Structure 1
């Protein structure tokens, strides 16, 4: 007889190393996205560029917190270490290049901010799902802090988007 599947509304407790690995990858991608957005807004909307850069720094701080926790839990080996070798780095940069364009008008700014907000909401939701599956108090506390930060991040992006829409109207 096959094993019984979990009910759809029950949350499976994942091993801590998987949670940390997934969260690390999520934050690394967020950091790269915010840095690209900071570059996109820099020529015409430096105030939004500074916001995106600050959000990227928050991601970097969350990455450091994840690495510190992994170290304390003796799980540092589960996280990727250091910079990728040069050919891999070059390949990633060439893939990312078309994703970032300089913002040239209000419509493009509003569209890009809507994208940033949607991605931030998605990241917050993923963090909430990770927090629901926590197996240890340390990870639960850290993810709780991440969720609060991501809620603030979403609020800031909503305010910025509203201002951009008002400027366009």
Structure 2
């Protein structure tokens, strides 16, 4: 098999593609949660800590995927540094501070939407997986992502953030 460079060519091995997709997804999620943690920290520190802990979970999942890739001798398919997509690089550096309940409610709503998307993505990856070891790992990820969705839902309800009604 020729040398594989992430982002430059399609992989001929479906397991390598799945590992790369799962790793890129978790890396994006990690950066998103870290940005949310920074945004919430000044005015809503408890929500900032929740977002930071969800980001740490994403980082742990990325590390687990890297360990699996190494175990399967597929580590050449993963990027060596933190994932950087040029279209997301500028957006991930922009952090808006949450200053009121309306902003907090809207941001939590978006975070919850993305958390559900992330869970569904992992469910699809596991359902159509080509690699039993990855499928087993994704099944564990799905359970943690369900818990993350539940935590975000509970925070949105407990905080009773004022979300403006839509006309």
Q: Is the 8 A contact 1:109 1:164 kept in 2?
A: no
Q: Is the 8 A contact 1:131 1:143 kept in 2?
A: yes
**Partner Cα distance (1:168, 1:70) in 2:** 44
Instruction: Give the structure 2 partner of residue 143 of structure 1.
Output: 138
Q: CA deviation at 1:134?
A: 1.4
Structure 2 gaps of 5+ residues are: 1-12
Equivalent in 79, 97, 121 of residue 93 of structure 2: 97
Larger Rg: 1
**Partner Cα distance (1:151, 1:111) in 2:** 20
* Dislocated runs of 4+, deviation >3 Å: 88-95
Tell me the TM-score normalized by structure 1: 0.82
Equivalent in 118, 142, 148 of residue 153 of structure 1: 148
Tell me the TM-score normalized by structure 2: 0.83
**Partner Cα distance (1:22, 1:29) in 2:** 11
**Partner Cα distance (2:91, 2:99) in 1:** 22
Greater helix share, 1 or 2? 1
Secondary structure, counterpart of 2:42 in structure 1: coil
CA RMSD of aligned residues (A): 2.2
Secondary structure, counterpart of 1:135 in structure 2: coil
CA-to-partner distance for each residue in 1:72-101, whole Å, 9 max, x for gaps? 1110011111247xxx79996534233x31
